[in-house]
Each structure stands twice: as structure tokens, then as C-alpha cells.
Amino acid sequence: MDQLLAMKVFAKVAERGSFAQAADELDISRAAASGHVASLEKHLGARLLNRTTRRVGLTAEGAEFLRRCQRILDEDPCLEEAYRLAMLVYAARGNRAGVNRQFERCRLALLREVNASPSAQTMALFESLIR
């Protein structure tokens, strides 16, 4: 189980109060969203969400875990920021190959760690640096 991805899905489900809305925003299937949260609950040995046919709500354990998740997920932008800084350094040295390598490393790290693509900010920076 990719714990970081499962935490991201859990946090989005908790924020939206809906597996369907969370799955749509994360561009994953509803079954995948449900599976990530179920795996997380199994791993933790605790029920994180109360589910009804119309709404999803946090349990007491879920509320505590959500606070922890958000602290961890808030740190994630630092990862992308570090790659943007590295791209700027290589660009300042006139090293386009280095810019390309750093962008690719960023893309792969984000995909591996949080199953996400680089942000629009990172994409715009990359495109401006390789022109």
C-alpha cells in the first residue's frame, strides 16, 4: 500500500464528505478511493470514517488521524519546491539537460510519492526554462 497516496485519498474523502467527489477530484475510480481508505483502516486497525448511503463522516479516530495526515501532506509541497529550485540553478548555469533531468526527477518523485503530476506552477517554470 502506498501510504502517502492512501492518506491523500482519505484526507480528500474527509474534506468532501464523499468518496465520489474525492475520486473525481483525484482522477481515480470510486472503487480505488474506497480501496485506499479501506487499506488504510486495515493497516491502522481503526475505523476512520462512518459511511452511510448519502454521507461520509469522521470517527473520533478519523478526526485525529486527519490532523496527522494534513501535517504530513502539508510538507509535500517542499518536495516540488526543491525540484523547482534545482531547475532554476541549472538554468542559471545554462544547463538545459540539467533542467530536463530535474523536471523528470520531480515528475517521477511526485508520481511515486503522491500519485500526482507536477503542479501548473512547476510546468510553467519548466516550459519557460527550456524555451
Containing domain of residue 63, as a range?
3-75
CB 34 within 8 A of CB 21: no
Closest CA to 73 of 82, 61, 65: 65
- pLDDT value for 48: 95
Residue with cell 480501496: 35
- Same domain flag for 56 and 114: no
- pLDDT value for 115: 67
- Same domain flag for 27 and 68: yes
- Same domain flag for 8 and 66: yes
Closest CA to 113 of 19, 39, 8, 13: 8
Phi and psi at 37, nearest 5°, equal: -70, -40
H-only helix segments in the chain: 3-16, 19-26, 30-44, 60-75, 77-92, 96-114, 120-130
- Same domain flag for 86 and 108: yes
- Same domain flag for 63 and 94: no
- Same domain flag for 9 and 68: yes
- Same domain flag for 41 and 92: no
DSSP code string of 83-97: HHHHHHHHHHTT-HH
**Digitized pLDDT (tens) for each residue of the chain, 131 residues in all:** 667 778 889 999 999 999 999 999 888 999 999 999 999 999 889 999 999 888 899 999 999 999 888 877 776 666 788 888 889 989 998 999 999 999 999 888 888 776 678 888 899 999 999 98
Structural domains counted in the chain: 2
- Same domain flag for 8 and 69: yes
- pLDDT value for 77: 64
- Same domain flag for 71 and 82: no
CATH number of the domain enclosing 40: 1.10.10.10
Cα–Cα distance list, 13 to 3, 49, 65, 106 (Å): 15, 9, 13, 26
